[in-house]
Amino acid sequence: MKKLLSVLLLVVMVFTLSVAVVGAAPPNQDGGTDHTVQKDDWLSKLADKFLGDLFAWPAIWEATNAKAATDDSFATIDNPNIIEVGQKLYIPSPEEAAVILGAQAPAAGELGSPEKPIQVLFVPSVDAGVIVTGGEVMADALNKATGLNFEVSVPTSYAATVESICASPDDTMAFIPALGYVLANTKCNVGVGGAAVRYGLSWYTVQYMVARDSGITSLEDLAGKKWAVPDRGSTSGFLYPTVEFQSLGVEPGEVIEAGGHGAAVLAVYNGEVDFGTSYFSPPRTDPEWVWGQDPEPYDVSAVVLNEKGKAYSGDIRILDARASVMETAPDVIEKVGILTLGEQIPNDTVSFGPEFPADMKTRIMNALPPFMDSDECQQSICSDEFYGWTGVEPVGDSFYDPVRQLIDVLGYTEEDVFGG
């Protein structure tokens, strides 16, 4: 009996000890951990994994560079969007990360503080409500990554956007099309930070749209016809088509400023004009669509919105301006066709006022690529209802020389484009 009791007591003691070990909290550890970069690693992915917030990636960047200053086994990261397999990083603890990220915040009253937020301007090429809501999503995400505060606004026109960035040269950034950038650069030396990328392309073009039953078959047929444009300041919607018409000796009739690319599409759809012009982005096909192919390589009668609100015909996704109005006009692609395309145009920009602080510009430009890869971007500038960006590519001012040449050919001044 005593032997049995002893065995039972031993079993209870072992069980109790086991529970205590399993249930005990892990020992406190000061500091973070080292990490060797693996294939498909990037800083925002590591921040999400180790810190629970993908926008905390600057903490890994700064902590690794701080380690590298005294220990050359750690990588020195110049561009946080480029890390290489085999590099040794330092992942700070959540407490260390909080201190690093907190130190990014500007002092009260300084640029980027809640009292003096950075002004972010968007041109009104799509619904202003969509832009403001999505712009605020971007502002919140960039705040997490940079510690900076932003205030989003949508001026009433392309011209007003240029005027606004020039009027506030030290605290304003803007998402403006190629033409607006060139005019702003000429007017007050606004500088470009990067160009939009849409599905791997840093260019877009104009599509000439007509009702499929219009009988119009060529650009020459548009002579004297009523024309819907997004805005006279629109590069794809007005300026490039104007040059093409001049080269063909074609003079359209009355020009109607519709108030956005989607509005120009709807003007054709509703029979308010004979033709319209808007942006074209290639459809997503497999194999990939290439320049010179049919712009509509799909069944136009079978285009529908999927459960996520994306326009598809079979497995092919449609990305041109018509897709942006399918909730309003579900049969728009069946009724409105693409007559032809124009020449390639450099994509729109993220630009900065001429006196905008260089260090803040760098912080923002470093933060944009990780944002483009996030779910938040799908509620913002990456949404088809917004600007449809899928990335951002660093470019210099010379990237927009083709637009300057366009303006020279037209002999246009700012007043010619924007009025006044």
As a residue count, the chain comes to: 420
Encode pLDDT of 176-194 as tens digits. 988 889 999 999 999 999 9
Q: CB within 8 A of 386, min separation 6: which ones? A: 126, 130, 131, 134, 380
Residue 47 falls inside a structural domain = yes
Domain boundary among 297, 331, 346: 346
Terminal-residue alpha carbon distance, the chain: 107
* In a shared domain, residues 287 and 332: yes
Low-confidence ranges of the chain (pLDDT < 50): 1-29
Domain boundary among 290, 318, 346: 346
303-305, strands of its sheet edge to edge: 303-305, 311-313, 316-317
Model confidence, pTM: 0.68
State the pLDDT at residue 111.
96
- Spatial distance between the Cα atoms of 317 and 236, rounded to a whole number of angstroms: 21
* In a shared domain, residues 274 and 298: yes
* In a shared domain, residues 329 and 370: no
Residue 5 falls inside a structural domain = no
Residue 309 falls inside a structural domain = yes
Long-range CB pairs of 394-397, under 8 A, 24+ apart, other chains included: 394/193, 394/194, 394/365, 395/192, 395/194, 395/195, 395/202, 395/346, 396/192, 397/185, 397/191, 397/192
The dihedrals phi and psi of 288, each to the nearest 5 degrees, come to -60, 140
Burial of 214-245, coded b for 16+ CB within 10 Å and e otherwise, reads: bebeebebbeebbbbbbbbbbbbbbbbbbbbb
* In a shared domain, residues 292 and 327: yes
* In a shared domain, residues 337 and 211: yes
Residue 134 falls inside a structural domain = yes
* In a shared domain, residues 207 and 342: yes
Residue 398 falls inside a structural domain = yes
Half-sphere exposure of 104 (CA within 13 A, CB side): 24
The dihedrals phi and psi of 367, each to the nearest 5 degrees, come to -85, -20
State the pLDDT at residue 141.
94
- Spatial distance between the Cα atoms of 394 and 347, rounded to a whole number of angstroms: 12
CATH number of residue 42's parent domain: 3.10.350
Please give the single-letter amino acid code of residue 91.
I
Max alpha carbon distance in the chain (Å)?
113
* In a shared domain, residues 267 and 156: no
Domain housing 128: 118-200+347-418
DSSP string covering 358-401, please?
Answer: HHHHHHHHHHHHHHHTSTGGGGTTTSTTTT---EEE---GGGGH
Q: How many helices (H) and strands (E) does the chain have?
A: 13, 17
* In a shared domain, residues 208 and 335: yes
- Spatial distance between the Cα atoms of 249 and 419, rounded to a whole number of angstroms: 24
* In a shared domain, residues 355 and 319: no
The total domain count for the chain is 3
Taking the CA atoms of residue 187, residue 190, residue 191 and residue 197 in that order, the dihedral angle to the nearest 10 degrees is -90
* In a shared domain, residues 126 and 68: no
* In a shared domain, residues 145 and 210: no
* In a shared domain, residues 192 and 220: no
Q: CB within 8 A of 9, min separation 6: which ones? A: none
Nearest to 351 by CA among 395, 313, 318: 395
- Which neighbouring-strand residues pair with 49? none
Domain boundary among 346, 376, 395: 346
Residue 113 falls inside a structural domain = no
- Spatial distance between the Cα atoms of 79 and 366, rounded to a whole number of angstroms: 7
Residue 109 falls inside a structural domain = no
State the pLDDT at residue 81.
82
The dihedrals phi and psi of 208, each to the nearest 5 degrees, come to -95, 120
Nearest to 414 by CA among 163, 240, 192, 229: 163
Instruction: Quickly count: other Cβ atoms within 10 Å of residue 417's Cβ.
Output: 24
